[in-house]
Amino acid sequence: MTEQKVSENVMRMKMRPFLHAMKGLSPEFIPLLKTILSHVRYKRIENMTRADVSRDIQGYISKVYAEWKEAQNIIAHALTKRLENIKLLEDDKKQYHRLKNKREKERCISEIGIAKIEIRILQRSIDALIWQIFEYEHSTIRRLALHDDIDNLSLKNIKDSMGYVSEMNKDPLTIAVASDLTTFVHVGDVIRQNIKDGNQIIEIKSGEKNLAFSEAASFSINTRCPVFDDNFTGQMNTTDKKHFFRAKKQQERLSSVEQILETGEGHDNYHDKPVRIQDHNYIPDFFHELIIHSWKKLRLGKLWDIHVVDECLFIGVYENTKIGFVGFNTWKNTTKFKGIVFNVLDSGRMMFVRPFMCLNLPVDILEDIIDGKVIVVLCLDYERFFNYGNSIYPGIFKLENTDVDSDLLSSCMHVNKLPIYSLHGGNKVYMQTGMESRIVFDFQRPRNVIDWTFKTSDLKKDAARKMHSKVKKEKMKKQMKNKQSKKMRKANRNQK
């Protein structure tokens, strides 16, 4: 690659976070997206007061669910339209290839690419419903995915899944979301929530053979009979055997997720390892008000506004691409700030981060971002984060000084290519980039992540042991002093 080409690529990467990500999509897509946003965030009822809600909580919930149901219906229709269009374009592309019509072939390729981007955004909009149903709990949401790069989106699956969720959604106090429409729910066919049963992951089975295999798989899992599988499948052909074991695997995955959600412990299907959830009762502190404050300044005529949070997180809010690109990079070069620059719209291309439509910002700001009227970027400096954490809790963060593979390095916060870790139970726990996503897309203060790390660390346990030892010594010292005082008083009485 030539030096000029490298320079162009570097400049393109620097410019990317400041570009209007929606530019170049089909003309009707932005209005469609804003309509979906209004339903996902139930804007129609946002003016209801707490008193209104408390007077009729079920009425309020049914109105929220009605908005979500409408969002899902609109998205399902939009996905169907784009999948059908891609099918037609693929046929046209082949035809133009045979005719050696390069121009029309490239047009088809371009339109297919645009349709696929729009499909991804629409699916992430469905993801926003799942995130709200599970109240933004990363530890719960991460359990719903499998590490198999599964994509069940198809015209048939949309039609089938919308059939059974529509039936469930006839209940005004129920919201059922089709898993196949999401980017990450690979366990269960439906995520359902209602007042009576709470959150449920549901497998839909139909057909005599499917039902029989499902019942057999359930029996096998529950009884753990060592000979059942062989006896049940002994006379089956290869196809039916695969069908049974596939049904059993699905149920095992579902059971493991349900166990984790109920007990906080179990087997993580995505990472294929045991997991223990520890953050259910953790209430973080957020910085979203800073972004709202900056947006209000822009509405009054200011062209830009910036913040630095906890010495290591940069937030920039800009009116347009040029001002953002020039202003941010000038500031970054001056302050020697380092790190990946994220646009809040980047959540659309990432898997385990809070979707754009349920970011902790008012709908008006999200609409301005969709329209390209405001650009919001964030950048976490790992080295400053490392130093800031150690300034609060000396020794909480350490750097791995041995060679690590590229996969580990890419999934961790690091300083000079040395992963950051802390010690928990004598084990190294690396600061995964999932923590970075909580800061960048959940708008959690970096101090939250540091405090949470300290909460379960060996450093805290050592400090507690030292404190306990100190208290014990002080207590023993006091007891000895009291004994000596008693002896002296007794001796004085005897002398008298």
**Helices 57-98/29-40 angle, 10° precision:** 160
User: Using CA atoms, how far apart are residues 122 and 461, in angstroms rounded to an integer?
Assistant: 46
Express each pLDDT in 263-317 by its tens digit: 777 777 776 777 777 655 667 899 999 999 999 999 999 999 999 999 999 999 9
Q: Is the pLDDT of residue 210 over 70?
A: no
Q: Give yes or no for residue 472 having a pLDDT over 80.
A: no
pLDDT of residue 386: 98
Percent of the chain with pLDDT over 90: 58
Roughly how many angstroms between the first and final C-alpha of the chain, as a whole number?
A: 102
User: Is the pLDDT reported for residue 480 higher than 90?
Assistant: no
Q: So what's the pLDDT on residue 381?
A: 97
Q: For position 218, what pLDDT does the model report?
A: 74
DSSP states of 304-367: EEEEEETTTEEEEEESSHHHHHHHHHHHHHHHT--S-EEEGGGGGG-SSS--GGGSSS-HHHHH
Q: How confident is the model at residue 153 (pLDDT cuts 50, 70, 90)?
A: very high
**Band of the pLDDT at 445, cuts 50, 70, 90?**
very high
| pLDDT at residue 162 in the model | 96
| Rounded Cα distance, 42 and 373, in Å | 22
Strands (E), 227-374: 265-268, 273-276, 304-309, 313-318, 341-343
Pick the residue with more confidence: 277 or 1? 277
Which of 72, 84, 293, 307 is CA-nearest to residue 193?
72
Distance CA 261, CA 269 (A): 13
pLDDT of residue 469: 58
pLDDT of residue 471: 54
Please determine, for residue 495, whether its predicted confidence score (pLDDT) is greater than 70.
Answer: no
Is the model's pLDDT at 44 over the cut of 80? yes
Exposed, middle or buried, 350 (CB in 10 Å: 0-12/13-18/19+)?
middle
Q: How many helices (H) and strands (E) does the chain have?
A: 18, 13
According to the model, what pLDDT value does residue 279 have?
A: 59
Pairing of β 313-318 and β 304-309? antiparallel
pLDDT at 59: 93
Q: Does the pLDDT of residue 468 top 60, yes or no?
A: no
Proportion of the chain above pLDDT 70, given as a percent: 89
Query: How far apart, in whole angstroms, are the C-alpha atoms of residue 138 and residue 116?
Result: 26
Q: Are the C-beta atoms of residues 179 and 190 closer than 8 Å to each other? A: yes
Region 373-386: mean pLDDT is: 97
Q: What is the pLDDT of residues 72-106, one digit of tens each?
A: 999 999 999 999 999 999 999 999 999 999 999 99
Q: Would you state the structure tokens that stand for residue 34, as one six-digit string?
A: 């804003």
User: Given this model, what pLDDT does residue 6 score?
Assistant: 58
Reduced to 3 states (helix: H, G, I; strand: E, B; else coil), residue 137 is: coil
Does 474 score more than 80 pLDDT?
Answer: no
- The total number of residues shown for the chain amounts to 496
Query: ∠377-291-328 over CA atoms, to 5°?
Result: 35
> Is residue 116 predicted with pLDDT exceeding 60?
yes
Helices (H), 169-285: 208-223, 228-233, 238-263
* Stretch 139-159: mean pLDDT: 85
- Show the tokens assigned to 101: 């019509």
pLDDT of residue 493: 65
Residue 300, C-beta contacts closer than 8 angstroms, at least 6 positions apart = none
**Predicted confidence band at 227 (pLDDT cuts at 50, 70, 90)?**
confident
Cα gap 424→435, rounded to integer Å: 16
Give residue-wise pLDDT tens across range 403-438: 777 777 888 999 999 999 999 999 999 998 889 999
The residue written with tokens 């006896």 in the block is: 231
Q: Copy the structure tokens of residue 238.
A: 């290869």
* DSSP-assigned states of every residue in 115-135: HHHHHHHHHHHHHHHHHHHTT
Evaluate if residue 358 carries a pLDDT over 90.
yes
How many whole angstroms separate alpha carbon 121 and alpha carbon 126? 9
Helix (H) or strand (E) holding 375: strand 375-380
Work out the average pLDDT over 119-137: 96
Q: What is the pLDDT of residues 183-196, one digit of tens each?
A: 999 888 999 999 88
Q: Which amino acid is at 374?
A: V
Four-CA torsion 391, 396, 401, 404, nearest 10 degrees: -120
The rounded distance, in Å, linking the Cα atoms of 275 and 260 is: 8
List the structure tokens of 123. 């699916």
Instruction: Round the average pLDDT of the chain to a whole number and report it.
Output: 88
Higher pLDDT, 494 or 138: 138
- The answer to whether 337 and 379 are in contact (CB under 8 A) is yes
**Contact between residue 459 and residue 429 where contact means Cβ atoms under 8 Å apart:** no
Q: With b meaning 16 or more CB within 10 Å and e meaning fewer, what string describes 94-122?
A: eebeeeeeeeebeebeebbebbebbbebb
